Structure 1
Amino acid sequence: MPTVADIMERDPITVSPEDSVETLLKVLRTHELPGVPVVNGGGRPVGIVTEADLVMVDEEEDLRLPLHIDLFGAQIFLGPVKRFEERFRKAIAATVGDMMTEDPITVDADTDVKEAARIIAERRHNRLPVVEHGRLVGVVTRLDVLEALVSEE
């Protein structure tokens, strides 16, 4: 059974949390990528930014506060404020760190392809950062995994 190391894209394009959103957009456009891992100075993945992080759709467009009631001069929110705070943070993002999804799901380079396929399917991700000893060494995509599984049969 092949491992993720056998099929991954090595030396992937990355950005840092300190990079500007403008730099991020240039990287995505230049390399025609739908997403990119965010790594710290030590090469460890600390986040990921995908096209979904860049686009606000439907009810998110106007960033309405959750429903609330005023009671004795205080606002009591009837819905989760955390979701609003997350959307707001991404809407006004100036850096990649403001926009990224933190703590990305990663796979080890020695993970077998079937396990990577399971993770991709369950988490509905299109790409996973690949690590060795905690450091980013590659990226494996849904297409990479599908091609490996088909060629194995």
Structure 2
Amino acid sequence: MPKVAEIMERDPVTVTPEDSVETVLRALRDHELPGVPVVNEGGRPVGIVTEADLVMVDEEEDLRLPLHIDLFGAQIFLGPVKRFEERFRKAIAATAEEIMTANPITVDADADVREAARLIAERRHNRLPVVEHGRLVGVVTRLDVLEALVSEE
């Protein structure tokens, strides 16, 4: 069984936490990517920005506050506010750090391709950052993993 390092895309496009949302959008568009890892100055993945992080759909488009009642001048929310706060933060985000999904799931470069397949299937990700000693060295996609598994049979 091949290792992830043998099938991964090396030197992936990345952004930094300080990069603007416009820079992230440009990277995704220019390289026709569905997502991009966010790496710190040490080259470690600290987040990932995907198309899903950039698009608000359905009922979330207008960022309605959760249902609430006014009681003695205070608003009492009848539903969870956390989801609204997260969507609002992303809606007004100016940097990659504000819009990214932090602490991305990663796979080691020396891991078996089956391990990458398991992570992709369990987490329902299309792309996984590949690390070596904690530093980003590549990206492996669902298609890369499927092709490797099929070629093994």
TM-score for both structures, normalised by structure 2: 0.96
For the residue of structure 2 that corresponds to 1:136, the secondary structure is strand
Amino acid at match of 1:35: G
Deviation of 1:5 after TM superposition, in Å, equals: 0.9
Secondary structure (helix, strand or coil) at the match of 1:89 reads helix
Q: Can you list the C-alpha shifts for 1:38-64, whole angstroms capped at 9, x where unaligned?
A: 000010101000111111100110101
Aligned CA-pair RMSD: 0.9
| Cα distance between partner residues in 1 of 2:118 and 2:25 | 30
Alpha-carbon separation, structure 2, partners of 1:121 and 1:80: 29
Alignment of 1:67-146 (within 5 A): 67-146=67-146
Identity of paired residues, percent? 88
Query: Where does the alignment leave 5 or more consecutive residues of structure 2 unmatched?
Result: none
Residue 7, structure 1, aligned to residue 30, structure 2: no
Structure 1 match to 2:66: 66
Query: TM-score, normalized by length of structure 1?
Result: 0.96
Q: Deviations 1:31-85 (Å, cap 9, x if unpaired)?
A: 1111100000010101000111111100110101111122232222121111111
The aligned counterpart of 1:31 is 31
State the one-letter code of the partner of 1:124.
Answer: R
Segments of structure 1 that go 5 or more residues without pairing to the other structure are: none
* Cα distance in structure 2, aligned partners of 1:79 and 1:25: 32
Matches within 5 A, 1:38-53: 38-53=38-53
Moved over 6 A (4+): none
